[in-house]
Amino acid sequence: MAKKHKHEEHVNHERWVISFADMMTLLFALFVVLYAMGVQDLEKLKKLKKSIQFAFNIEGSGKTKDEGIFEKVSGAGDVQLPATIFNGQVGSMKRFLAEELEDFREVVGRSLEVDMTDDAITVTAPISKYFEEGRAYPVRRSVAEQLDRVFDGSLSFTSKIHVRVETPNIPIARRPDGSVVTSEDLCIERVRTLARIASNNPQVLPSMVSHEWVQQPATSGPGSWEDHALLVLTFSNDDR
C-alpha cells in the first residue's frame, strides 16, 4: 500500500490585508473625530468653560486661579486638601451661577451682586438696570429676554422665586388730578410687573412666585433715587 505524502501548507502572503484594513478603519475614525472637534459651537464651549471653572472653584466663587481645586491648611506644613464634593442641589446652583447668571451679568452689568447660601441664590441690582426712568413697564427688552432664561435655569434647584424692591419713598411727579406720585407707588407697579413676568413663564407655577416692597431711607448720595433703589431676586428651595 502506497504511503500518503503530507503536502506542506502554503504561506499566506495576503495576511497583511487584514492589518491594513484595521489601520485604515482607525485612521478614518481619527479623522472623523478631528473633524468633529474642528466644527465647534462657540456658545456651548463658552458655557462648558464657565461650568468647569465653577465646578473646580477656579473662578467666580471666591477662589483664586492659583488655588484651583485645592485649599491650603496652615499648620505643620502646608497640607493639600481636596475641595469639598458638592451634592446635586449645590451642583445645580453652581451651574446656574456659571451659565444663566453669568450671561445675565453681561446684560445688567457688573453692578449685579450675587450671593449664594446652602439653599438659595440672591441676585441684587439697581432697579434702573431693569426699567426706563419713570416707567413701570415694560422691562428693558435686553433684560426681559435674559430674565426668562434665568427663571428657566433656576428651576433645576428652586421651588420659590421671590421678587423684592427696596425703594425710598419720595415724591416724583403729579397726576392730572393734582395728587402726588411717589417712588414707592412706581416701584410697587414695577415689582408687580416682574412678578407677572415670572408667573407667565410656562415652566414656572404661579404658586412659586411671591413679591414685596420695602421702604429705604432717603439718600442724598450721587445719582438719582432709581440708582439707589434695588431689585432683589431670590431663588430658594426652602419649603419652611
Within 8 A by CB and 6+ apart from 236, the residues are 119, 120, 121, 158, 159, 160, 162
- pLDDT score of 63: 41
Superfamily of domain 87-236: OmpA-like domain (3.30.1330.60)
Residue 124 neighbours by CB distance under 10 Å: 16
- pLDDT score of 164: 92
Per-residue pLDDT of the chain (240 residues; tens, 9 = 90+): 555 555 566 666 677 788 888 889 988 888 877 776 665 566 666 666 666 655 555 444 444 343 433 333 344 444 443 443 344 456 777 778 777 788 888 888 878 888 888 788 898 999 888 998 888 888 888 888 888 888 888 888 888 999 999 998 889 888 888 899 998 999 999 999 999 999 988 888 888 999 998 888 766 666 788 888 899 999 987 654
- pLDDT score of 165: 92
The domain ranges of the chain are 45-85, 87-236
Distance, CA of 149 to CA of 100 (rounded, Å): 7
Amino acid at 154: S
CB 167 within 8 A of CB 225: yes
Beta bridge partners of 167: 215
pTM for this prediction: 0.59
- pLDDT score of 66: 39
- pLDDT score of 67: 40
DSSP 82-144: EPPPP-HHHHHHHHHIIIIIHHHHHHH-TT-EEEE-SSEEEEEEEGGGTS-TT--SSPPHHHH
Distance, CA of 150 to CA of 144 (rounded, Å): 10
CA dist 184 to 174, 188, 198, 209, Å?
Answer: 14, 6, 21, 21
- pLDDT score of 120: 86
Amino acid at 160: K
Residue 169 neighbours by CB distance under 10 Å: 16
Residue 185 neighbours by CB distance under 10 Å: 18
Residue ranges of alpha helices (H) inside the chain are 16-38, 42-55, 88-96, 102-108, 141-154, 183-200, 225-228
